[in-house]
Amino acid sequence: MKLIDDYKRRRRDEQELRQSGRMPPGQSLTNRFPVMMAGPIPHVDTASWELRVFGEVEHEMRWSWEAFLALPTVTVTVDVHCVTRWSKFDTVWEGVLFRDFVELFSVKDTAKHVIAHCDYGYTTNVPIEDMMKDDVLLAYKYDGKPLEPEHGFPVRTLVPHLYFWKSAKHLRGLEFSAVDKPGFWENAGYHNYGDPFKEERYQRRGFF
Ligand SMILES: Nc1nc2c(c(=O)[nH]1)N[C@H]1C(S)=C(S)[C@@H](COP(=O)(O)O)O[C@H]1N2
Ligand SMILES: [Mo]
């Protein structure tokens, strides 16, 4: 009967989440943690890893893993929504608050977009004002533990109010750009912004 009980509980939780307005349209609840990865899972060596900040900033900078770990962190509990229609609730992440991070190198007024650069060339673009929200992190712990390789070790961006493809795993660089640069999924027909509550899943490009 355990399976049936679990199923019933999940249906009840899901209903509650819908009624409370936390469930975006067209989504359903998962308690698992699916792995969504466009390519192979990189196994990053933190000894040679660095995070590079470049573009429209006063000081281009690089952080070694050690230097990055020395930055103050915050912990947030957030819901994440994947465009493949699963949502995961009350996920707990620890990392560097993006808004605090940018204080370290002064962003120029000309910077309007943040492009996350990852292993194997995965990129994704987010407007800079979205990155400044108070639950946007450079996250390196999930549920109190280091990120698993398949979930983005050593560091990923966490942008919970947009579809989860905007939360870039295996982060290597943050580019501050005056012009928008649609990334991997955005160029593959997904929406450029990706608000789950507006179901901004796909967009048409071109003439029609
Ligand atoms: N570097 C990188 N980051 C990525 C992806 C990817 O393929 N490569 N997939 C994105 C997508 S589509 C989703 S839904 C989430 C999934 O994160 P998870 O595998 O930890 O669930 O990561 C996003 N970040
Ligand atoms: Mo995704």
What is the pLDDT at residue 188?
A: 95
Q: Is 83 a member of any domain?
A: yes
What is the pLDDT at residue 205?
A: 61
Task: State phi, psi for 9 to the nearest 5 degrees.
Answer: -65, -40
Q: Is 5 a member of any domain?
A: no
Q: Is 15 a member of any domain?
A: no
Cα–Cα distance for residue pair 17/30, rounded to 1 Å: 12
Residue among 164, 187, 190, 201 whose CB has most ligand 1 atoms within 8 A, to mutate? 164
Q: Are 176 and 56 in contact (CB under 8 A)?
A: yes
**Residue identifier of the C-alpha nearest atom 8 of ligand 1:** 37
The residues of the chain scoring below 50 in pLDDT are: none
CA of 164 to the centre of ligand 1 (A): 7
What is the pLDDT at residue 2?
A: 82
CA of 86 to the centre of ligand 2 (A): 9
> Does any ligand 1 atom lie closer than 6 A to the CB of residue 167?
yes
* Domains identified in the chain, total number: 1
Q: Are 14 and 6 in contact (CB under 8 A)?
A: no
What is the pLDDT at residue 77?
A: 98
Q: Is 113 a member of any domain?
A: yes
Cα–Cα distance for residue pair 55/101, rounded to 1 Å: 15
For residue 152, the ligand 1 atom closest to its alpha carbon is 20
Q: How many CA atoms lie within 13 A of 149 on its CB side?
A: 8
Q: Which CATH number covers residue 31?
A: 3.90.420.10
> Does any ligand 1 atom lie closer than 6 A to the CB of residue 169?
yes
Q: Is 207 a member of any domain?
A: no
What is the pLDDT at residue 206?
A: 57
What is the pLDDT at residue 207?
A: 55
> Does any ligand 1 atom lie closer than 6 A to the CB of residue 172?
no
Closest to 95 (Cα-Cα) out of 139, 159, 132:
139
Task: State phi, psi for 189 to the nearest 5 degrees.
Answer: 105, -5
> Does any ligand 1 atom lie closer than 6 A to the CB of residue 57?
no
Cα–Cα distance for residue pair 23/66, rounded to 1 Å: 38
Cα–Cα distance for residue pair 74/93, rounded to 1 Å: 8
What is the value of pTM for the model shown? 0.96
| 34, 119, 161, 180, 206 from 99: Cα distances, Å | 28, 23, 15, 20, 35
What is the pLDDT at residue 1?
A: 74
Neighbours of ion ligand 2 (CB under 5 A): 36, 82, 165
Q: Is 2 a member of any domain?
A: no
**Residue identifier of the C-alpha nearest atom 11 of ligand 1:** 165
> Does any ligand 1 atom lie closer than 6 A to the CB of residue 159?
no
Q: Is 10 a member of any domain?
A: no
**DSSP state letter for 136:** -
> Does any ligand 1 atom lie closer than 6 A to the CB of residue 65?
no
Return contacts of 41-44, CB within 8 angstroms, 24+ apart.
41/149, 41/150, 42/119, 42/120, 42/149, 42/170, 43/149, 44/119, 44/149, 44/153, 44/154, 44/170
What is the pLDDT at residue 117?
A: 98
What is the pLDDT at residue 200?
A: 97
pLDDT in tens, 192-203: 999 999 999 999
What is the pLDDT at residue 35?
A: 97
> What number of residues does the chain have?
208
For residue 36, the ligand 1 atom closest to its alpha carbon is 19
Show the domain range for 104: 26-198
Beta strand ranges found along 82-167 (DSSP E): 86-97, 113-118, 123-127, 137-142, 145-146, 156-158
CA of 35 to the centre of ligand 2 (A): 9
Residue 139, both tokens: 């996250």
Q: Is 18 a member of any domain?
A: no
